[in-house]
Amino acid sequence: MKIDLHCHTEASADCITPLELIPHRCLEQGIRIQAITDHDEVRGAQRLQQMVEEDPDLELAVIVGEEITTSMGEIIGLYLQERIEPGLSPQETVRQIHAQGGLVLLPHGFDPLKRFRLKPAAREEIAAEIDIVETYNARISRMRWNDAATEWAKAGDLPMSAGSDAHLLNDIGAAWLEVPFQLVNTPQDLLHCMRQGVPTGKWTHPVQAYIQKQWHRLATGLGLK
């Protein structure tokens, strides 16, 4: 089964993907565990989790997450019970994630062209509190930044994840961690199974990704999709 721990929905200000279309797209792509990590929001993830749990035909687990804008860049929290306010220090953000029983994931942490990446100094300050490192982001500016994340994760013996970082429906499934099928009910279950897989995916050049995103917005506004 495939796991994607970084994805956006219409609850993110920069995404218009309808919640109701996401489960079937995930299953078409072989994804069985999908984290929803909207920017500074959890309402979309919570609603999608509820929708999936109410439909017994959907063999999909949704993890409630949030891509949190800290005072020094973005951090993802997984298995959250409630929204964490943006603008806090990285240290306080991490403290609040763990206080909810959640996991701290470092997304696109080495790409200097990612506007909201976590600053290197902050990354090193919270290094001991990071639970997962995203080592394959399908929307990174250059593949070498995924390689840099992989080296950093290996040095710290940290679980490695993949994230489509999808802002369009068709982008879901662009990156994944493939592991043997198993039940994942808790954060510790997730960490355990992640050790059994290798992050991979299909990288898209950021210019091409931007054009696709703008075309999709235009086509949707014109009623072409």
Q: Among residues 193, 145, 199, which one has the least CA distance to residue 174?
A: 199
Tell which CATH classification among 3.20.20.140, 3.30.70.260, 3.30.1330.10, 3.40.50.300 matches the domain 2-221.
3.20.20.140
Q: Which carries the bigger pLDDT value, residue 13 or residue 219?
A: 13
51/10 Cα distance (integer angstroms): 15
pLDDT tier at 24, thresholds 50, 70, 90 = very high
pLDDT of residue 218: 58
96/77 Cα distance (integer angstroms): 9
CA 202 to chain centre: 15
Mean pLDDT of 162-186: 95
CA 27 to chain centre: 17
pLDDT of residue 203: 80
Question: Is 213's pLDDT higher than 80?
Answer: no
115/138 Cα distance (integer angstroms): 16
Q: Which carries the bigger pLDDT value, residue 209 or residue 145?
A: 145
Question: Is 93's pLDDT higher than 70?
Answer: yes
pLDDT tens digits, one per residue of 185-200 = 999 999 999 999 999 9
pLDDT of residue 207: 58
Question: Is 212's pLDDT higher than 70?
Answer: no
pLDDT tens digits, one per residue of 96-127 = 999 999 999 999 999 999 989 999 999 999 99
